[in-house]
Amino acid sequence: MKEDLFSILNLNNREDARIFAKEIGVSVTELAYYNDNCIYPDYNIIKKILNYNQDLTELELKIRLGHIDSEILSYLQKNVKEISSICNPAAKETNVKRELPHAQFSTSLGKLYKADCLEIMDSLPDESVDLIFADPPFNLKKEYESGVNDGLSKTSYLNWSEKWITESIRILKKGGSLFIWNLPSWNTYTAEILNKYLNLRHWIAVDIKYSLPIPNKLYPSHYSLLYYVKGDKPTSFNQERLPLEICRHCGGDIKDYGGYKNKLNTEGISLTDVWRDISPVRHKKYKNRTSNELPLNLLERIISLSTKKGDMVFDPFGGSGTTYVVSEILKRRWIGTEIGPIDIIEDRFKNLEFPSLLIQQIQDSKNQLFTEEMKKIRTKNGYWLS
Ligand SMILES: C[S@@+](CC[C@H](N)C(=O)[O-])C[C@H]1O[C@@H](n2cnc3c(N)ncnc32)[C@H](O)[C@@H]1O
């Protein structure tokens, strides 16, 4: 567990921090920057902190901040016998799982629990799911129907994230896939945890603008979708190809293919790790709730790519239930948890005809260079066809 700099220094509020900063001769803004962003303070500031708090050592500070560098690691390794005799952590209970409670909603393929994901994951056996997809709250102070606190301190958010990520790793089967959707800034921390246990397949950039331009920064234009696998290679990997990207209005080329047009595979363009064809759900015809909801084509791609019929899919953060609806339509088994209201999810299951149709359209357009619709507009406007 990481600790906040301020709590290590017994600074209970900003006023305490201001007085402390003045005493050691640094600006409170700078001190708060290190505290709020979980960043290890600059060497000069560390010296001032340690000069003032004579009973604190740099080793203690680093360990409590969760800043285990290679120097500390090697110290811990050299003294591991003594340390383990002092710590002697209680042996972890393995395979003794609590029984799963009664699901609030179920279908022949899936079960949905209105509960904290950690509570349900605790009852799931080791290595029991083939795919985990997680779209956690981004800690952006958004209001969710569930009322979850989306404005935690960075330390608390990271500590909580580590818990559900570690549990996800435990319940994932060998060869199973784990996808985590988040802002790139959070996923740098997620990757740090995952790299210790799983194998990175791809950092996928999903090209969607998610924020307004920020002065003195680049315009944030992609979500990060981490794709990891347990073990050397995935049990299921169903490669797919996409139609050529063309202008939505005139059907013309977006890229110049020069002399390569005839060399393009007629089955389409290989899917890359930059996805440009995922649009946010905004239109009310497709939207099921006021807070954010992922589009069907994102989940269709992830589930089709990494599982086969009958596989088990788990999504800890249900939201409007997109993962469960797509799993059901694609005949995958599924388990879901949502801490907030689940009536929106249940309602979606009352009419699967419309999403089934959309998924059919998504699948029909794959693995060909030009769909029938594209052929029509390109023929009309005189563009080349393979
Ligand atoms: C970003 S939304 C997920 C949206 C979802 N992917 C969709 O397409 O509709 C995150 C959801 O996680 C839920 N949540 C937050 N903390 C949770 C927890 N500890 N256990 C279960 N659900 C949680 C929130 O209530 C929210 O609905």
| Count of residues in the chain | 386
pLDDT digits (tens, 9 = 90+) for 281-296: 776 666 676 667 899 9
CA distance 306 to 122: 24
Cβ < 6 Å from ligand 1: which residues? 116-117, 135, 137, 144, 146, 148, 292-294, 316-317, 319-320, 322, 337-340
- Helix, coil or strand: residue 111: strand
If one looks up domain 105-236+273-350 in CATH, what number appears? 3.40.50.150
With pLDDT > 70 as the criterion, what percentage of the chain qualifies?
95
pLDDT computed for residue 362 by the predictor? 95
Q: How far apart are CA 192 and CA 174, in angstroms?
A: 20
Of 118, 145, 146, best ligand 1 pocket probe by most atoms within 8 Å of the beta carbon? 146
- Read off the pLDDT band of 257 (50, 70, 90): confident
Which two structure tokens, joined as six digits, stand for 194? 């995952």
Summarised one tens digit per residue, pLDDT across range 320-362 is: 999 999 999 999 999 999 999 999 999 999 999 999 999 999 9
Ligand 1 center to residue 179 CA distance, Å? Answer: 15
User: What burial class does residue 63 get, using C-beta atoms within 10 Å of its C-beta: 0-12 exposed, 13-18 middle, 19+ buried?
Assistant: middle
CA distance 370 to 5: 56
Q: What does DSSP say about strands 333-337 and 312-315: parallel, antiparallel, or unpaired? A: parallel
Instruction: Please provide the distance, in angstroms rounded to a whole number, between the alpha carbons at the two ends of the chain.
Output: 57
Question: For residue 128, which of 166, 178, 176 has the smallest C-alpha distance?
Answer: 176
Mean pLDDT lowest among 8-12, 95-99, 106-110: 95-99
Coil, strand or helix at 52? helix
Nearest atom within ligand 1 for CA of residue 320: 9
Q: How far is CA 188 from CA 111, 185, 204, 274, 298, in A?
A: 32, 6, 13, 17, 21
Distance, in Å, from the CA atom of 245 to the CA atom of 255, rounded to the nearest integer, reads 8
Report whether 145 contacts 340 (CB < 8 A).
Answer: yes
Mutate to test the pocket of ligand 1, among 293, 339, 349 (most ligand atoms within 8 A of CB): 339
Residue-wise pLDDT tens digits, 57-103: 999 999 999 999 999 999 999 999 999 999 876 655 555 677 899 99
**pLDDT, tens only, 143-169:** 877 788 888 899 999 999 999 999 999
Q: 137 alpha carbon to ligand 1 midpoint, in Å?
A: 6
Percent of the chain with pLDDT over 90: 82
Residue by residue, DSSP assigns 317-337 as --TT-HHHHHHHHTT-EEEEE
Q: What is the DSSP string of 173-208?
A: EEEEEEEEEE-HHHHHHHHHHHTTTSEEEEEEEEE-
* pLDDT band per the 50, 70, 90 thresholds, residue 141: confident
CB burial readout 247-283, b (16+ within 10 A) else e: eeeebeeeeeeeeeeeeeeeebeebeeebebbeebee
Round the average pLDDT of the chain to a whole number and report it.
93
User: Is pLDDT of 309 > 60?
Assistant: yes
CA 146 to ligand 1 centroid distance, Å: 8
Å from CA of 227 to ligand 1 middle: 19
Specify the pLDDT at position 95.
57
Instruction: Give the bridge partners for 270, in sequence order.
Output: 241
Residue nearest to atom 13 of ligand 1 (CA): 317
pLDDT tier at 211, thresholds 50, 70, 90: confident
> What's the gap in Å between 114 CA and the centre of ligand 1?
11
Distance from the alpha carbon of residue 317 to the mean position of ligand 1, in angstroms = 4
Number of H helices, E strands in the chain: 15, 11
Every domain of the chain and the residues it spans: 5-87, 105-236+273-350
Coil, strand or helix at 36: helix
